[in-house]
Amino acid sequence: MFTTFRGGPSGAWRVTALSPVKGAALAAVHSLSVVHSEAIALPLLPSPTSWRLAGVASHVRYVERREKTLLAQTQAGLGRPEASCAALIPIRKSADWWELTQEERRRIFEDQSHHIATGLKYLPEIARQLYHCRDLGEPFDFLTWFEYAPQHASRFEDLVRALRATEEWSYVEREVDIRVTRIDLAG
Amino acid sequence: MFTTFRGGPSGAWRVTALSPVKGAALAAVHSLSVVHSEAIALPLLPSPTSWRLAGVASHVRYVERREKTLLAQTQAGLGRPEASCAALIPIRKSADWWELTQEERRRIFEDQSHHIATGLKYLPEIARQLYHCRDLGEPFDFLTWFEYAPQHASRFEDLVRALRATEEWSYVEREVDIRVTRIDLAG
């Protein structure tokens, strides 16, 4: 099952900010759509006014059993009615990161950078889904999608600030931060 | 970079055997072609006489630093002139395997099943390249490609027998074993 994020003139989420955090930005767009499909969506033709990013919600790579259980007990699902704020954060890591072995990556990821422990502190308020795309030939390695209610917006800022202050983050070579709010059709 | 294996009426490798080891077989085909490309090849239309499997030579998932160094020092590259025999072994593992955490998989993979140590014993005679395809929506999780000279054919049989006698192999739910020989155009 693939998940495709399309930035362009229309979509269920209104883009409120799109900032390059490291490396090249993405084109500024009005809206974002999120589509789940069995086949991978074809790349769009190059366009100055839209883009497409795809990924796969795959198996876990770093969590250990105790953490996996704790995450399953604590996390909220996507699509909560109150979670009208979201963020899409595509990240690409450096060749140095991918040259590391799994145990070396885990050591930096959790033992030094407390990536999982940090995420857990913000559950269940900040729901989170990771999509892998490095093996799909995509421009990024991961797409992380976060959903939260407006009253937890400052908690979300704390979370991204904490993740960007880590040793792990020094391996990030491209990151874009896209903030959106759900377009309420019933409104 | 994607690698696509196409079984069908033509290709640089002549299929000498195609056997279902576990689960459904693939259609019997005359030849196999191997193509490397920047974009993923589209699935073929369903055909009783051909098939297409694609994967990605990705970063290592289980080897630790000492093993990675040892593998790099010992292994042979693909395309050795004397390696006119090859095997393509597509494998899919069960949902139970993918529910395990990374550390649990590593424990079964190496501590109990000695997957890496076994492979090392057959280097450099049996060259080996793993392609990942679970995240591509493919029918298999991995494609392993082996190349060896005819005089090492019985060593190759020992290797596949050893891998199939492991605890790890109990998580395999589909496996097909395709043996090929290089068509020597100069001959």
Q: What mean pLDDT, rounded, does chain A reach?
A: 93
Q: If interface means Cβ-Cβ distance under 8 Å, which residues of chain A face chain B?
A: 1-2, 38-40, 56, 58-65, 68, 98-99, 101-104, 106, 132, 134-137
pLDDT digits 0-9 by tens, A67-77: 999 999 999 99
pLDDT value of residue B49? 84
Q: What mean pLDDT, rounded, does chain B reach?
A: 93
The pair of three-digit structure tokens given for residue A19, joined into one six-digit string:
């900032």
CB-CB contact of A31 with A11 (8 Å): yes
Distance in Å from the first CA to the final CA of chain B: 31
The Cβ of residue B115 has, within 10 Å, a number of other Cβ atoms equal to: 21
ipTM: 0.82
Q: Tell me the C-alpha distance between B86 and B156, whole Å.
A: 10
Tell me the shortest Cα–Cα distance from A93 to chain B, in angstroms: 13
Q: What's the CATH fold of domain B2-182?
A: Alpha-Beta Plaits (3.30.70)
Beta strands in B9-84 (DSSP E): 13-22, 31-37, 51-56
- φ/ψ of A164, rounded to 5, equals -85, -5
Helix H or strand E segment including B160: helix B153-164
Q: Hey, what amino acid is at A60?
A: V
pLDDT digits 0-9 by tens, B50-95: 999 999 999 888 999 999 999 999 999 999 999 999 999 999 999 9
Helix H or strand E segment including A22: strand A13-22
Average pLDDT over residues B166-187: 91
pLDDT value of residue B7? 96
The pair of three-digit structure tokens given for residue A83, joined into one six-digit string:
């979670």
A83-182 CATH, one of 3.30.230.10, 3.30.70.3420, 3.30.750.210, 3.30.470.10: 3.30.70.3420
Tell me the shortest Cα–Cα distance from A11 to chain B, in angstroms: 25
Q: Which residue of A has its CA nearest to B58?
A: A135
How many alpha carbons fall within 13 Å on the CB side of residue A130?
Answer: 15
Of the candidates B1, B38, B102, the beta carbon closest to that of A62 is on B102
Tell me the shortest Cα–Cα distance from A22 to chain B, in angstroms: 23
Interface probe with B: pick from A59, A116, A131, A138, most Cβ of B within 10 Å: A59
Give percent above pLDDT 70 in chain A. 96
State how far Cα B117 lies from the chain centre. 17
The pair of three-digit structure tokens given for residue A141, joined into one six-digit string:
């390695």
User: Across the interface, do A38 and B137 touch by the CB < 8 Å criterion?
Assistant: yes
State how far Cα B51 lies from the chain centre. 16
Interface probe with A: pick from B62, B98, B101, most Cβ of A within 10 Å: B101
pLDDT band per the 50, 70, 90 thresholds, residue B185? low
pTM for this prediction: 0.89
**Where would I find the H helices in B122-184?**
153-164
For chain B, the structural domain boundaries read: 2-182
pLDDT band per the 50, 70, 90 thresholds, residue A178? very high
User: Across the interface, do A101 and B64 touch by the CB < 8 Å criterion?
Assistant: yes
Average pLDDT over residues A26-42: 88
Give just the sign of the alpha carbon dihedral B107, B97, A136, B78: positive
Q: Which residue of B has its CA nearest to A60?
A: B101
